[in-house]
């Protein structure tokens, strides 16, 4: 139904299959498997280092996952840049702080959406780390 | 920049480009999939998994790559997965796609990125408590399905590919 309203979109099967090829190429040429959540641990380590560096040295989890900028950190930054390039080049870049579906159900309030997104992100990352994903 | 960092950046740019083109970065698409209204994400994800699975195992068979297997810690995976699902449903993006969402202008991703940094910090704080409890419940070590079933990996991969193609056909029939 909505397919014609979005002319810059690629077929999701094709885009997904190409993403699969990129992941295979990555494993082939550099031995790196895709992942994102470890980077948020390193990011948290950086933030805490600015506030309380002694605490970061104490915590076992930050000792094994040190705040350093590694392959995955740059991969995560790359996702943002790649998405930006694709969005700008196809005219689908759009500044939006409250998604359409959210707005229809919960209204356009920035604080409500921000608060739920923050809490959701916190729970999701805690779960991801617990499952080692 | 080290070579590792450069390769990470380039790989991320390619992946982010495809995520945006596939239209899987949006809250409406992610929550649309969880509400079973729009299966764009499932199509993208399953296509990537199938191609990635076949390609990676080909590389392994040819001796060109090594698998990176995560341990099967049942308790941690089940509880972690349930929490991840709740968080994903509230946030509307997953860790990787939240970055891509910000890249195409969806600024609500930033709130959740801050939340994810907080979630990681919280996990680091309670890790000593979890280490000897949840993270030990039902630990089967680094196992794979073919290993557990005692068969060559292609006996798992090929049926998986066939089932995925059947799922795709069904999704198209239903117009999802």
Residue B14: inside a domain, yes or no? Answer: no
- Specify the pTM: 0.96
Residue B121: inside a domain, yes or no? Answer: yes
Residue B15: inside a domain, yes or no? Answer: no
Q: Which of A25, A96, A123 sits opposite B87 (nearest CB)?
A: A123
Q: Residue ranges per domain, chain A? A: 3-96, 97-133
Q: Enumerate the residues of chain A whose CB falls inside 8 A of the CB of residue B79.
A: 127, 130-131
Q: Enumerate the residues of chain A whose CB falls inside 8 A of the CB of residue B137.
A: none
Instruction: Give residue-wise pLDDT tens across range A63-91.
Output: 999 999 999 999 999 999 999 999 999 99
Q: At what angle do helices A37-51 and B108-131 cross, to 10 degrees?
A: 90
Nearest of B11, B15, B16, B43 to residue B109 by alpha carbon: B16
Nearest chain B residue to A8 by CA distance is B21
How high is the pLDDT of residue B31? 98
Q: Enumerate the residues of chain B whose CB falls inside 8 A of the CB of residue A86.
A: 16-18, 20-21, 104
Residue B8: inside a domain, yes or no? Answer: no
How high is the pLDDT of residue A7? 75
How high is the pLDDT of residue A22? 98
How high is the pLDDT of residue A133? 86
Average pLDDT in the A8-31 region? 97
Q: How confident is the model at residue A4 (pLDDT cuts 50, 70, 90)?
A: low
Q: Are residues B100 and B136 in the same domain?
A: yes
> Given a cut of 70, is residue A2 above it in pLDDT?
no
How high is the pLDDT of residue A1? 44
User: Contact A12/B44, CB-based, under 8 Å?
Assistant: yes
Domain that holds residue B168: 22-67+148-176
User: Contact A85/B85, CB-based, under 8 Å?
Assistant: no
User: Contact B115/A121, CB-based, under 8 Å?
Assistant: yes
Residue B153: inside a domain, yes or no? Answer: yes
Nearest of B56, B26, B52, B62 to residue B41 by alpha carbon: B26
Question: How far off is chain A from B155, nearest CA to CA, in Å?
Answer: 20
- CA gyration radius, chain B: 19
Average pLDDT in the A109-113 region? 98
Q: Are residues B169 and B122 in the same domain?
A: no
Q: Are residues B104 and B121 in the same domain?
A: yes
- Among left, alpha and beta (phi > 0; psi -120 to 50; other), residue B65 is beta
Nearest chain B residue to A20 by CA distance is B48
Q: Are residues B82 and B128 in the same domain?
A: yes
| ipTM surpasses cut 0.85 | yes
User: Contact A82/B103, CB-based, under 8 Å?
Assistant: yes
For chain B, which ranges sit under pLDDT 50?
none
Report how far apart, in Å, the C-alpha atoms of A97 and of each of A114, B105, B108, B112, B176 are: 9, 8, 5, 12, 27
Residue B47: inside a domain, yes or no? Answer: yes
**Contact of B73 with B138, CB cutoff 8 Å:** yes
> Given a cut of 70, is residue A125 above it in pLDDT?
yes
Q: Are residues B60 and B103 in the same domain?
A: no
Total domain count, chain B:
2
User: Contact A101/B27, CB-based, under 8 Å?
Assistant: yes
Average pLDDT in the A2-18 region? 84
User: Contact A117/B91, CB-based, under 8 Å?
Assistant: yes
User: Contact A80/B11, CB-based, under 8 Å?
Assistant: no
Mutate to test the interface with B, among A78, A93, A102 (most CBs of B within 10 A): A78
């Amino acid at each position: 139904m909505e397919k014609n309203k979005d002319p810059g979109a690629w077929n999701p099967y094709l885009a997904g299959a190409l993403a699969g090829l990129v992941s295979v190429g990555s494993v082939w040429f550099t031995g790196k498997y895709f992942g994102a959540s470890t980077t948020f641990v390193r990011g948290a380590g950086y933030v805490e280092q600015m506030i309380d560096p002694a605490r970061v040295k104490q915590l076992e989890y930050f000792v094994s996952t040190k705040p350093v900028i590694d392959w995955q950190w740059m991969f995560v930054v790359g996702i943002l840049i790649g998405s930006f390039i694709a969005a700008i080049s196809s005219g689908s870049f759009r500044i939006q702080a409250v998604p359409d579906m959210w707005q229809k159900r919960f209204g356009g309030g920035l604080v409500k959406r921000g608060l739920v997104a923050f809490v959701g992100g916190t729970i999701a990352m805690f779960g991801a780390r617990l499952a080692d994903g | 920049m080290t070579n590792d960092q450069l390769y990470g950046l380039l790989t991320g740019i390619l992946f982010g480009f495809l995520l945006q083109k596939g239209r899987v970065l949006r809250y409406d698409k992610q929550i649309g999939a969880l509400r079973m209204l729009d299966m764009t994400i499932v199509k993208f994800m399953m296509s990537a998994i199938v191609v990635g699975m076949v390609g990676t195992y080909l590389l392994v068979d040819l001796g060109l790559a090594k698998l990176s297997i995560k341990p099967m810690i049942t308790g941690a995976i089940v509880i972690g997965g349930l929490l991840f699902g709740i968080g994903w449903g509230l946030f509307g993006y997953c860790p990787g796609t939240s970055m891509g969402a910000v890249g195409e202008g969806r600024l609500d991703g930033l709130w959740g990125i801050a939340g994810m940094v907080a979630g990681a910090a919280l996990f680091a704080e309670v890790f000593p408590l979890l280490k000897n409890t949840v993270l030990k419940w039902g630990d089967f070590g680094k196992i794979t399905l073919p290993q557990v079933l005692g068969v060559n990996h292609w006996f798992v991969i090929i049926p998986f590919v066939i089932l995925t193609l059947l799922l795709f056909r069904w999704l198209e029939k239903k117009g999802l």
